[in-house]
Amino acid sequence: MDNNSVVGRIFDIQKFSTHDGAGIRTVVFLKGCILRCRWCCNPESQSFRIQRMKTANGTRVVGYDTTVGDVMQQVLRDMPYYRRSGGGMTLSGGEALCQQEFVTALLQEAKAHGINTAVETTACLPFYMIEPQLPLLDTVLMDIKHINSEKHEQFTTMRNELILENAKKIAASGTHLIIRVPTIPTFNDTEEEIRDIARFAASLPGVDEIHLLPYHRLGYDKYMGLEREYGMGELPTPSAEKMERLRRVAESQGLKAVIGG
Amino acid sequence: MAKYNSAKCAKSARIDRLKEELFRKMPEIEADRAVLLTESYRKTEGEPMVRRRAKAFRNIMEHLPITIRPEELVVGAATVSPRSCQIYPEFSFSWLEDEFDTVETRSADPFHISEKTKKKLREAFTYWHGKTTSELATSLIAPEARLAMEHNVFTPGNYFYNGVGHVTVQYDKVLRIGYRGIIDEIRAERGRMDRGDADYCTKSAMLDAVEMSCEAVITYANRYAALARETAQREKDSTRRNELLQVAENCERVPAYGARSFWEACQSFWFVQMILQIESSGHSISPGRFDQYMYPYYKADVDSGKITRDFAQELLDCVWVKLNDLCKCRDAASAAGFAGYSMFQNLIAGGQDKNGEDATNDLSFMCIDATLHVMLPGPSFSVRVWNRTPHEFLLRAAELTRTGIGLPAYYNDEVIIPSLMSRGLTLEDARDYNIIGCVEPQKSGKTWGWHDAAFFNMLKPMELVFANGQLDGVQVGPKTGDVTSFTSFEDFYAAYRTQMNYMISLLVNACNAIDVAHAERAPLPYLASMIDDCIGCGKTPEQGGAIYNFTGPQGFGIANVADALYAIKRLVFEEKKFTLTELRDALDANYGKLSEADAERLTVGVVKELAKNGVEVGADVIAAVYKTVKDKDGDPRYREIREMILAEDKYGNDLSEVDALARDAAYTYTKPLLKYKNPRGGSFQAGLYPVSANVPLGAQTGASPDGRLAGTPVADGVSPSAGMDVHGPTSAANSVSCLDHGIASNGTLFNMKFHPSALAGDSGLENFVALVQTYFEMKGSHMQFNVVSRETLRDAQKNPDKYRSLVVRVAGYSALFTTLSKSLQDDIINRTEQTSF
């Protein structure tokens, strides 16, 4: 089948994204995820089902089926910006890599147009679902949320062994890998926890960059819109000073550490 | 190695104290200039106008009170009180007399005025009845054009009530040879004249006037030298005493002679800049390429070790503060349109030189830093960008953008240079352009550009189409037929073009009448000393003495017109969701949101029509009409029509079809203008920007077919309608770049709003620079940015419709600010300005 007619399920395409890989990027948000992280700011991404979500401007249908061709048409509109800024297309989600066929076709088309590609992934899926995409990806932005598997499971519903294993394999493949840490109060925001993650990241061959993404409450409205409970309660967002302290801790492991990506 | 030193210099503690002094009290109106001007005019009745102007100017230069403010290194003030203004009755005065008692309490740009000043001005004004430029212009404007002005189709208010300004003079020449050198040129020109020349008498009177003006300025500078010496004698602090003695020496030297040091150059520049604004009330007197013409003096002093870079920066910062010492009192309506005491003194750094090489130097960076140090609206700071602009320079400019001060504005050499060449500038002159006022490019020292000649509301001709050429029951435009008779989109569009063409001809008529009035009643001999080739041809700029002559009136409302045309095309003619008749009724009823004032206005229109057709109109008829009008209000069909329109594609979202229509709609203004000439032999050229006239003129505009409600602002410049671009900055920039910016050679204005999260960190700056450069690669010509503050976000909470496109960005997530709940919005407001995203 022609790549352009391959169908996938997404819930948004966002232009001028500046925190999701290098340069100015267009992010394609794919629907469906494996983890259920308590702090997730895109709760509408989790279920693969097309859902209805209440918003300030009425009820919105979240998720639609589209083709690679239609997505590419949108992505190509900003080509001049990618060229200037070293940007490109980032697949996000949800867990983008769940929709294997769609992702392969999309990445192949992007490559055919000379577009830089990146994925934001949990890497919480069998490596055989990750491996085929690696040659098509310029950068993998992968989360490592916690080194302690029990705590990982407690906050995300899944253990982390597979994730850590995949991190080693992706690094070994030679694909450019950046480790990202959503920095969540009560979960992983102590200096010790961040140090552990950074130490692991630094041990991966070729990994030299880590992003600490401060917890924010911007997803709150969407939980309400989906008639779900917000798992984080009234937790305050981490202060700039605290983030800077944690950044230095990560940096001390020999990595370039960035707040916010 | 880089050709420049970009290292940052420290900010002197003096700068904040100078600022404090400037803002210690409310700006004031002073009467001295008006009194001195009038005194001279009374003595010179019957003499050639240019001589009368020069004598009046001399009287002002000799007697205007002078003052040196505490700690100043660069001196010269047009008013004793800081940030205050003089009055220019030769252009217009009756508005001020009418507003004497309200000017202090009005909300936009209030001025204190003492009873003593009122008395002096009242006396001076008795002379001016019938003698002003605005009165002469009024008598020269065709009645049809006056009618269109009364109905707010366009407004040439700027030059109708005030001096022209909008010019960059030969600062470089004054710095180099001083007014003594210019007087030598005048004498040489006299030597070439023959008493038998046809223009001998006018040219000779003009040259005398220019020379007299130059002498007057030298006298004025010497008064400052004397005052500085006097002040020095009384000064106890020895450091300050030495500063004052140096100031005295500087003022004795410049601007009479060429500058020998950077300090003298700053002083010389400032005299020119300020005195031009004493000669006439025209705003947008733009310093232009300051980093270029000041550089030789800076370099010589720094290379020789005469001054440090830190001291050079301090002098620059002092000049920046001084630029905010000038002020202008406008009538209440104009003040609302220009709010912020703006003087639009545009100063530009960077770009290429006349030979096409990059011109960025130390001062280009130091100009950015001066703006960062001073953080005041003056100068209107701009940067030129081209393919070879150093990346480092753009990053420094981006740092300034990130502060949220709204500066600098970015200009694209790659569009503006060919655009100016298409208007007859030489390659070298085009490469040496700078910006006047808001966005208008010109070649300094050679141009009388009449930029900002008028504001033209592109939505009004559309209102005319719906009413067969009428506004409020008066036949203002041509009869293009009843809209109900139009059977295709092309019919409608053709009618719009007909209305546009007619209104453009009236706009030209009004501009030309005002042009003539200025040539006749307010020639400016001092200005003429610094514009080529005024001395050579013996004419002031107003009389046609400049090498390049233009008239540049501004169209605005492209986005509304494009969205309106697209909605009509799609919904009326393609999908047939409603008829033009229904749309007309919906517009008349303001989509079912009729205000009391609208209802009255509509009633008056209908009643006038009835009376014209011979119906006897009594109170009962008026009441009946009013009831019919009110009955239309609240009709759900009208709201439904508006909802359908709002749901249609809009300009600003990178959608090819509506963007193509926007390009074409802009041509309905930019192309017809090109065929017209002004009285100075120059051509008209369009600009597409509104300053802030889109707000007050929007208030005079009925509901429009793009879903815009009556009285709300019209779109700003070439930007999408507020809140209609909902796909982010790249999509908006893609849409705007679809317009033909080159043909709008008087400038286009694209305003973009950012939340600080978009510019956070080094990568934020890099991406921002890439965005500007990409828009410029796609042939956009100007960009400016509002990085929103907490205050703006609070406003967005209250007025979400205006800010629908405002995006908050974090990794893996972004949201339209206005769609968030109040508590989350508050959260973001609290985080804003910490750039901790």
Instruction: Give me A55's structure tokens.
Output: 């918003």
**Half-sphere exposure of residue A230, counting CA atoms within 13 Å on the CB side?**
16
- Give exposure, B110-120, as e/b (b: 16+ Cβ within 10 Å): bbebeeebbeb
Average pLDDT value for residue range A97-123: 97
CATH number for the domain that contains residue A62: 3.20.20.70
- The whole-angstrom separation of Cα B691 and Cα B457 is 12
Judged by CB atoms closer than 8 Å, whether chains meet at B764 and A18 is answered as yes
Beta bridge partners of A117: A89
Does A128 touch chain B if contact means CB atoms closer than 8 Å?
no
Closest A-chain CA to B833: A240
Among A15, A42, A224, the strongest candidate for a mutation testing the B interface, having the largest count of B CBs within 10 A, is: A15
Q: What residues in A contact B808, CB-CB < 8 Å?
A: 218
**Residue B187 CB: number of other CB atoms within 10 A?**
11
- The band of B1, judged by pLDDT with boundaries at 50, 70 and 90, is very low
B-proximal residues of A, 133-192, CB under 8 Å:
180
Q: What angle do CA B609, B613, B615 make, to 5 degrees?
A: 95
Does A232 touch chain B if contact means CB atoms closer than 8 Å?
no
Judged by CB atoms closer than 8 Å, whether chains meet at B814 and A17 is answered as yes
pLDDT, tens digit (0-9, with 9 covering 90-100), for B431-474: 999 999 989 999 999 999 999 999 999 999 999 999 999 998 89
Of the candidates B586, B558, B556, B559, the one whose C-alpha atom is nearest the C-alpha of residue B571 is B586
* pTM metric for this prediction: 0.92
Judged by CB atoms closer than 8 Å, whether chains meet at A80 and B777 is answered as yes
Residue B2 confidence (pLDDT)? 60
Of the candidates B451, B452, B444, B450, the one whose C-alpha atom is nearest the C-alpha of residue B530 is B444
Instruction: Give me B811's structure tokens.
Output: 């990794």
Q: Tokens 């169908």 — which residue?
A: A7
Q: Which of A232-236, B457-461, B621-625 has the lowest mean pLDDT?
A: B621-625
Counting the structural domains of chain A, the total is: 1
Judged by CB atoms closer than 8 Å, whether chains meet at B821 and A56 is answered as yes
- The whole-angstrom separation of Cα B243 and Cα B362 is 25
| DSSP label at residue B107 | S
pLDDT, tens digit (0-9, with 9 covering 90-100), for B14-34: 999 999 999 888 999 999 999
| DSSP label at residue B480 | -
- The whole-angstrom separation of Cα B247 and Cα A187 is 65
CB contacts < 8 A, A to B, total 117
CB-CB contact of B53 with B523 (8 Å): yes
- The whole-angstrom separation of Cα B598 and Cα B576 is 28
Instruction: Give me B268's structure tokens.
Output: 């010389």
Judged by CB atoms closer than 8 Å, whether chains meet at B810 and A19 is answered as yes
Q: Which domain holds residue A98?
A: 3-259
Does A79 touch chain B if contact means CB atoms closer than 8 Å?
no
Helix (H, G, I), strand (E, B) or coil at B308: coil
B776 to chain A, closest Cα gap in Å? 11
End-to-end CA distance of chain A: give it in Å, rounded.
37
- Give exposure, B134-167, as e/b (b: 16+ Cβ within 10 Å): bbbbbebbeebbebbbebbbbbbbbbbbbbbbbb
**Out of B654, B770, B836, closest to residue A85 by CB:** B770
Residue B14 confidence (pLDDT)? 97
B339 has a pLDDT exceeding 70:
no
pLDDT, tens digit (0-9, with 9 covering 90-100), for B404-418: 888 999 999 999 999
Residue B59 confidence (pLDDT)? 98
Q: Which of A118-132, B449-463, B689-703, B704-718 has the lowest mean pLDDT?
A: B689-703
Average pLDDT value for residue range B107-136: 96
Does A213 touch chain B if contact means CB atoms closer than 8 Å?
yes
Q: B11 or B605: whose pLDDT is higher?
A: B11
Helix (H, G, I), strand (E, B) or coil at B809: strand
Q: What residues in B contact A237, CB-CB < 8 Å?
A: 827, 831
Instruction: Give me B472's structure tokens.
Output: 């409020």
* DSSP secondary structure, chain A, as one string: --GGG-EEEEEEEEEEE-SSSSSSEEEEEE---S---TT-S-GGGT-SS-EEEEETTEEEEE-EEEEHHHHHHHHHTTHHHHHHHT-EEEEESS-GGGSHHHHHHHHHHHHHTT-EEEEEE---S-HHHHGGGGGG-SEEEEE---S-HHHHHHHHSS-SHHHHHHHHHHHHHT-EEEEEEEE-TTTT-SHHHHHHHHHHHHHSTT--EEEEEE---TTHHHHHHTT---TTTTPPPPPHHHHHHHHHHHHTTT-EEEE--
- The band of B206, judged by pLDDT with boundaries at 50, 70 and 90, is very high
- The whole-angstrom separation of Cα A87 and Cα B761 is 16
Q: What residues in B contact A56, CB-CB < 8 Å?
A: 818-821
- The overall average pLDDT reported for chain B is 93
Domain extents in chain B: 13-140+165-442, 750-837
B549 has a pLDDT exceeding 80:
yes
Class of domain B13-140+165-442: alpha beta
Q: Which of A1-15, B197-211, B808-822 has the lowest mean pLDDT?
A: B808-822
Instruction: Give me A172's structure tokens.
Output: 């070994």
Name the interface residues of B facing A (CB cutoff 8 Å): 654, 727-731, 734, 758, 760-761, 763-764, 766-767, 770-771, 773-774, 777-778, 807-815, 818-821, 823-824, 827-828, 831, 834, 836-837
B191 has a pLDDT exceeding 50:
yes
Residue A208 exposed, middle or buried by CB count within 10 Å (0-12, 13-18, 19+): middle
**Out of B760, B777, B812, closest to residue A20 by CB:** B812
Among B774, B804, B828, the strongest candidate for a mutation testing the A interface, having the largest count of A CBs within 10 A, is: B774
- The whole-angstrom separation of Cα B644 and Cα B646 is 6
Closest B-chain CA to A41: B813
Q: What residues in B contact A84, CB-CB < 8 Å?
A: 770, 773-774, 777
Catalytic residues of B: 438, 440
Residue B832 confidence (pLDDT)? 59
Average pLDDT value for residue range B82-111: 94
- The band of B836, judged by pLDDT with boundaries at 50, 70 and 90, is very low
Complex-level ipTM: 0.90
Average pLDDT value for residue range B115-130: 98
Q: What residues in A contact B812, CB-CB < 8 Å?
A: 19-20, 27, 41-42, 92, 120, 213
Q: What residues in A contact B823, CB-CB < 8 Å?
A: 220
Does A260 touch chain B if contact means CB atoms closer than 8 Å?
yes
Residues of chain B above pLDDT 90, percent: 78
- The whole-angstrom separation of Cα B676 and Cα A122 is 65
**Out of B763, B778, B819, closest to residue A56 by CB:** B819
B673 has a pLDDT exceeding 60:
yes
